[in-house]
Every structure is written in C-alpha cells, then in structure tokens.
Amino acid sequence: MKIGFIGLGIMGKPMAKNLVKAGHELVVFDFNKDAVKELVDCGATAAESNKDLAAQVDVVITMVPNSPHVRAAVLGENGVVEGAKEGLVVIDMSSIDPTESKAIGAELAKHGIDMLDCPVSGGEPKAIDGTLSVMCGGKKELFDKYYDMLMVMAGSVVYVGDLGSGNVAKLANQMVVAINIAAVAEALTFAKKAGTDPELVYQAIRGGLAGSTVMDAKAPMMLAGNYKPGFRIELHIKDLNNALNAAHAISSPAPLTAEMMEIMQFLRSEGCDKDDHSSIVKYYEKISGTSIVK
C-alpha cells in the first residue's frame, strides 16, 4: 500500500518509521527537513508539499498538533485536496476537536475524499515500539479496510463510531490521564509529608485497585525527577482545551478537567510547558513545600 504521511514530530516520526519497517511504500512531508531526511534514510520518499504527496498515494495519514494544522494540511494552499486523486482517503491521527473533525470531513467529502479520525494514546515510547492505542471514527467499511495498516503502529485499534467519535474517545482518555497523574502526584506528596517513603508507598499500592498504567508510567518519572517529554504539558493543555470546549458545547459538566486545566496553566506560567505531563507533581511541590524526588 502506498501511504502518504504528513507530520513527523515526536509521535509521527516513529509511527512513520514503523510503517516503513512493515514494508509499506511511504511518501512523507514535514516542514522539519531533518525529520524528513531521517525517514528518507529509512526508505521513505520525500514530497515537496502536501499537494505533491497526495498526488502520489492512495491514503494520507496526518499527525499534526491541532485542528488548524489539520485543516491547513488537507484544505489549505498546496494542501491534500489540490493533489488528491479520486478515491483518496485521509486518516487523521492527530488529537483535535471532534466538531472540527466533522467539519473537515464534510469539506473533504465535497472533493470526493473520505476521512477517518483515528487519534492515538500512549506517548512517544508506545509510538516507537508500535503499541499505541488507536480510537477510530468514520465509516465502518473504511475502518475495516485500513485496520491491518493501523495495527502496524498499534497494540489496539478500536472502532468507536461515526466521524468525530475517535476524538471524543481521545478527549475522554486525556481527561482520565490528566486527573490520574494529578491523583498520583497528590498521593505521593502526601506520603512524603507524612514521613513515609513515597517510593515504597508506590510499590505497596500499585498492585491494588489504585494501580494503573498511568501510575506505572508516571510515578517512577516523578520519583526520579525525570520530565523528559513523552507527552508535553503544552499538548495536554491543547487536549484539555478541546475537551472543555466540546463539553461546554453539549452542557456536559467537567469540573475535574477544568481544575486540571488550571494546574497545567500554572505549570505553563512556571516555564514547564515543554516538560512531560508527569511534571504535574511540580504543582504539588510548590503548594506543599516538599519534593518526592529521591
């Protein structure tokens, strides 16, 4: 299958590499020429623009930061629609506002282009080892057609519903992840202030009901003071902003998500927006006057 891949950032680059490793013929485009060269060195072909890329492939994957970037890549000047052949499919794997997924899909349909929204969860480590969780919205027959291709990059690929449903699932995921990270940070800070080793508390509770994938991924980072980004605070802010906008549009209360947005805005003000979201623990360091770093 000849695939176009737009967006070779912290997530897109390893995802694209896994497609090449699986034997797919890949055409790539990104404004970061170093990232493009890295993919070309792996066996991909470089396109001059999104338009040029679309003219060469049967399906286009987009993996860019937010809704405006998706819109620009597919509908903007030198965008996918300008080079698209009849029957082209766009699979947007970015995390964006589900209402915008639907709007972009409607515009693409006017050009005879189908769209799936298939955002991912798992961060850079799972992008590298090809075990991401993928949540898909759109026509079921398209999901079935591209399931095997998506599984090259994933540990699970789940169909959620109509176009936009993938991003609804992703925003729900991001709400749970943010709140879970904060709960871990709060609990381990409490343990430290109570005079108990937070590392031992983590080991004691991780196998019980409190245990989670989030805890096992983020507690060790907090304890080590390691905030190298697998998923940056600034990107989580973007997701929570989309979640709150979507929730407000349908009058769905989201008070814990709103609180997490304020905590992350504090971290942004402290210059932590490029840090991993495990740095939520820095908020607790600030308000408690203590640190759990070993």
Taking residues 127-134, what's their average pLDDT? Answer: 96
The residues, any chain, with a CB within 8 Å of residue 47's CB and separated by 6 or more, are 4, 27, 28, 29, 53, 56
CA–CA separation, 114 vs 162, rounded Å? 12
pLDDT per residue as tens digits for the range 69-125: 999 999 999 999 999 988 999 999 999 999 999 999 999 999 999 999 999 998 888
> What pTM value is reported for the model?
0.89
Where in the sequence of the chain do the CATH 3.40.50.720 domains occur? 2-162
**Is 2-162 a CATH 3.40.50.720 domain?**
yes
CA–CA separation, 148 vs 154, rounded Å? 10
Q: b/e per residue, 43-58, with b = 16+ CB within 10 A?
A: ebbebebbbbbbbbbe
DSSP line for 184-205: HHHHHHHHHHTTS-HHHHHHHH
CA–CA separation, 134 vs 212, rounded Å? 19
CA–CA separation, 131 vs 17, rounded Å? 13
Is 170 designated active site? yes
> β-pairing, 25-29 with 59-62?
unpaired
What confidence score (pLDDT) does residue 123 get? 83
Helix %, strand %, coil % of the chain (to 5)? 55, 15, 30
- Cα 104 to its chain centre, rounded Å, is 18
User: Given a cut of 90, is residue 142 above it in pLDDT?
Assistant: yes
What confidence score (pLDDT) does residue 243 get? 95
Instruction: Determine which one of 13, 170, 218, 282 is catalytic.
Output: 170
User: Given a cut of 90, is residue 251 above it in pLDDT?
Assistant: yes
Question: How is domain 168-288 classified at the CATH fold level?
Answer: N-(1-d-carboxylethyl)-l-norvaline Dehydrogenase; domain 2 (1.10.1040)
What confidence score (pLDDT) does residue 128 get? 96
Where in the sequence of the chain do the CATH 1.10.1040.10 domains occur? 168-288
pLDDT per residue as tens digits for the range 80-91: 999 998 899 999
pLDDT per residue as tens digits for the range 253-294: 999 999 999 999 999 999 999 999 999 999 999 999 999 998
What own/partner pairs with CB < 8 Å and gap ≥ 24 does 14-17 have?
A: 14/124, 14/127, 14/128, 15/61, 15/63, 15/93, 15/120, 15/127, 15/132, 15/153, 16/44, 17/42
pLDDT per residue as tens digits for the range 4-45: 999 999 899 999 999 999 999 999 999 999 999 999 999 999
